[in-house]
Copies of this chain bind each other. A is one copy, B any other.
Amino acid sequence: MSIITDSNNTAANTNTVLKNDLLLRALRGDTLSRPPVWMMRQAGRYLPEYMVLRRKYDFFTRCQTPELVCEITIQPVDIVGVDAAILFSDILVVPQAMGLEVLMEEGKGPSLPMPIKSIEDFSRITVPDVSDKLHYVMDAIKLTKQTLNGRVPLIGFAGAPFTLLCYMVQGKGSKTFDEAKSFCFTQPEAAHQLMQMITDTTIQYLIAQAKAGADVVQLFDSWSGLLSPADFEIFAMPYIKQIVEAVKPHCPVIVFAKGSWYALEDMAATGAGIGVDWCIKPALARKLVGANTTLQGNFDPAKLMLSPAEIKKEVNKMIDDFGIDKYIVNLGHGITPLIPVDNAKAFVDAVKEYGAKN
């Protein structure tokens, strides 16, 4: 292929040269004219084009049909102009591949009718061969990479073991995941055995994503912030570390453990890029992760209800605070359904204009 490129960098595991490789360069720590920008849940309900497909196909049809995944994944690149695509999928495809039934009723959140309650339930789960059970994800990655044709990098992802345990034990979403946490505290051996199975599956899964063409992968520990610092060290950190170490030789990894500001230093020591939410000041996040780690975040999604002009002002301030290098502009959590598309565009445009300004 012969494409005019911004740099000589090529995406991992693909022959297509990336035209926009800002995300990879930010993760490497290169000096940039502006940071890259993408948004968690950017392929989601705030986009009318996504809503058309959501009304037409149920959740797992959308996840398991490579053509639909490809279309949904690329929508925000076309419409909002983000610097990276993130695969449309769900963290619960892993528990599903491990053998648990996962139901996804629109507007109700996920449910697992037969959750794990003790070690006896482990007879119902396995560490699957992901190339078999999750082949549809790799097929979707290949098709999406081909269709993107190097426009922007593609991000793959998985849920971190503690967060997946939360759903596999609690059986549904929760504000506190009390039952899942009590499972960890009262049956720690079972919890560790379960998280090791999830870890083994996730390592296979993320390496397979990288081999299929994912340029970067993100590990989401969405519920680790419900753990105390001491319990995070016991129940979250060891598995995050194993996964980052195993996957990093295959592609860059970003870890986003929402709410776990107290573990930023330990997480940064894995060599991953580190996502942060808006409940920490940029200067403190930088101090905790050190000078060599790329940070990602941390715009409060509720601020996307401001006017486009005000959003741009806030984004400028955020980039001023984080600095341009070793920084990826993102939200501190997923974009919510009520955000106007023009506001999401203003968020992205502000980052691009910041670059033009400098």
Task: Say yes or no for A279: interface residue by CB 8 A criterion.
Answer: yes
Closest 6 CB pairs of A and B: A182-B305, A181-B302, A228-B278, A178-B302, A182-B302, A229-B281
Q: Using Cβ atoms and an 8 Å threshold, which residues of chain B touch A227?
A: 279
Q: Mark A149-191, 1 if CB is under 8 A from B, else 0.
A: 0000000000000000000000000011010011001100000
Query: A303 — nearest CB in chain B belongs to which residue?
Result: B185
* New A-B pairs, 12, CB < 8 Å, besides A181-B300, A262-B279: A176-B301, A176-B333, A176-B336, A178-B301, A182-B305, A186-B306, A228-B278, A229-B281, A231-B300, A259-B259, A261-B261, A262-B280
Cβ-defined contact, B185 with A306, below 8 A: yes
Closest CB in chain B relative to A326 CB, distance in Å: 21
Segment 303-343 of A: residues with Cβ below 8 Å from B: 303, 305-307, 333, 336, 338
Docked complex Cα distance between A42 and B248 (Å): 47
Q: In the complex, which of the residues B259, B303, B306, B338 contacts A279, with contact meaning CB atoms closer than 8 Å?
A: B259
Docked complex Cα distance between A259 and B225 (Å): 10
Cβ-defined contact, A228 with B300, below 8 A: yes
Docked complex Cα distance between A301 and B228 (Å): 11
Residue pairs across A and B with Cβ atoms less than 8 A apart, 14 shown, are A176-B333, A176-B336, A178-B338, A181-B300, A182-B305, A185-B302, A185-B306, A186-B305, A228-B278, A229-B279, A259-B259, A261-B261, A262-B279, A262-B284
Q: Using Cβ atoms and an 8 Å threshold, which residues of chain B touch A225?
A: 279
Q: Using Cβ atoms and an 8 Å threshold, which residues of chain B touch A281?
A: 229-230, 262
